[in-house]
A and B are shown apart, each in its own frame.
Chain A
């Protein structure tokens, strides 16, 4: 039997890539995920490479890595030296790189002023799905292999039967990370038992929830973990063809995935007779084309078939009749990224992490009004308070926390009174939200919850595929009511009408997206009903967001008559004379708020 990545091969690769104990004393990595690149990582990387080459620093190995997790501190550079703690440099520029080279690399003195202490950030985290993100070069299969990559595939093919693989996944308690949390092993077993010669394995990388970017980060930072897991899944369920359905909005992820697949094929880790066994497995990328509904499993498969991505009724479930009516296994990116570790370390290890019914970890994309925006992976059961205040560093500008939104357009808001709820699949459903794919948007006191509900409804209306009337017409009617309420034209009975429509849509829509579309409205109504009532009854927006109900006025006492507001007003609505208090003419005011931002004396108030 020819096993291509046996122990010897691995040791050789490890030596070559020297990720932890290389011969080259310095391994310098630059975070080159989409967010890093957007923050300016490319010039940093180019400058670094250029300088290292120019100075002939043969003891320095420069490479790119994926997301390191702390978006607000990008671009980031990390320096590894054998036997020493790694040093993390943040908010890097070519100028700073020059100093790091001269001081740290050449003289061995760390440039403390550019570093950050990431202890606080990492201490609550356990990295399983993200274990290689930010550590390895995603475009080099050797680095993945050096850190134990494709060991799980080797173990599954050589030592385990398909049923044994399924049993391990079942015992681990892993549940789908894409939203609903269906037990992964059970899904694998259904597909394995389904009748049919031809079966498919699919990966849902159509990460459409606004605010979620963990799947992108995994694909950009560690694409091989997903490829390896899909091959394991193919072996377990008896499929020889896989498809990864990726959003076209993620060009970097698509490119790295494509590179990774080619490298895996070259190494004989995909294709015919994998690792010398009789198992064949091919993998293809299919691009989405900008339709949120294609994140729904039946719609996703219809889209791979080359049709309009409309969902169809279930049953039959994809495990029985999926892609081209053949039994199909569909899991999400993060779910797959857990698989290799579970195969290697065993079900017991995995199920030892997390809560009773939700095992393992969850990756959250933390964004919005929070200091440390970024990507974190915490054990199931971590509380929202720990995520926001301990890892997230709290709310900027000393503002008050109002709510955290999870689950995107299908989820809901978690208010302050539930800050100490342990986050897992079931607890989130109990408090009216859902795990979703793991986007977690923090909102502070300046956020209007009715406006947020409207934002999500606008999204749903726009993205409704139009196949079933409850979603197509129902959500539109709800949006009309919300537009009325936020426009200052709310009527008595509007809130009750919203509730009734929401209830009807939930029970009658065709797919998961339609059924969950009313959730943002229901959850904000549940916790912030008084805000809706203020809009409808008193025509007031307590957060001062809804323009129709906000008037900007100048406090005559506080105004020093400097005229800055008048100069900056593009509508010509501010009038007055220098030295005298200014005034805003309400019928001209377009409520852009520039006067308030520009006023040095905080004399412009919202009413």
Chain B
């Protein structure tokens, strides 16, 4: 797997420092019962995703077999073994959004970005995935970009929403 660093383009933090941050998180949770999932959440936050080498650190630190960790990582959709875009686009495909045409919004985004669901744009800026209900059904259809929630999105509005993020600098 190529190690493209999409998610965290933070130049000031070196690979070594990030791996150290991962070790610190693992250390912090070592004694806690059922720590694996909280640890994976935190580690993904600092590392961006959960490649094998990161899973190995967690495995050694928490004394849990790597196979078990891999099983957990691949079970939950929030965990990713692929790098994500700097801006993570999630199109809600819950019932209310679906009934109100979320499928067409998704099609439009696919068309504009030229990537499919689960992929990341070559420049590492956007990744796209369908989302389960985000619970803002009153505003269906809903699109989330990182922590920003957009309500009542129509295919017409897609381009102007994407443009905002194209113009922003790196995070």
Contacts and interface: CB of A to CB of B under 8 A. Distances in A.
A489 B124 CA distance: 40
Interface stretch (A122-130, A132-140, A181-189, A288-296): A288-296
A213 B37 contact: no
Contact of B75 (A74, A248, A309): A309
A251 B147 contact: yes
Contact of B139 (A35, A211, A248): A35
Given A210-B94, A455-B98, A367 B138 contact: yes
Interface stretch (B16-24, B28-36, B162-170): B28-36
A345 B78 CA distance: 42
Q: Which 8 A-B pairs have the closest CB atoms?
A: A71-B138, A210-B94, A289-B76, A306-B36, A367-B96, A38-B149, A213-B135, A290-B77
B135 A207 contact: yes
B132 interface: yes
Interface in B85-124: 93-100, 104, 107
Interface of B: 33-38, 40-41, 68, 71-72, 75-79, 93-100, 104, 107, 131-140, 142, 147, 149-151
A213 B40 contact: no
A387 interface: no
Given A208-B133, A210-B95, A286-B37, A71 B139 contact: yes
A465 B72 CA distance: 12
B149 A210 contact: no
Contacts of A338: none
B95 A408 contact: yes
B156 to A, nearest CB: 10
Contacts of A210: 93-98, 132-133
Nearest to B68: A307
Interface residues of A, number: 54
B96 A249 contact: no
A368 B95 contact: yes
Contacts of B151: 35, 38-39
A537 interface: no
B130 to A, nearest CB: 9
A472 to B, nearest CB: 14
Interface stretch (A274-282, A439-447, A478-486, A576-584): A439-447
B149 A367 contact: no
A49 interface: no
Contact of A248 (B78, B133, B137): B78
Contacts of A447: 99
Given A251-B147, A308-B71, A208 B137 contact: no
A367 B37 contact: no
A290 B133 contact: no
A365 B137 contact: yes
Contact of A289 (B77, B97, B138): B77
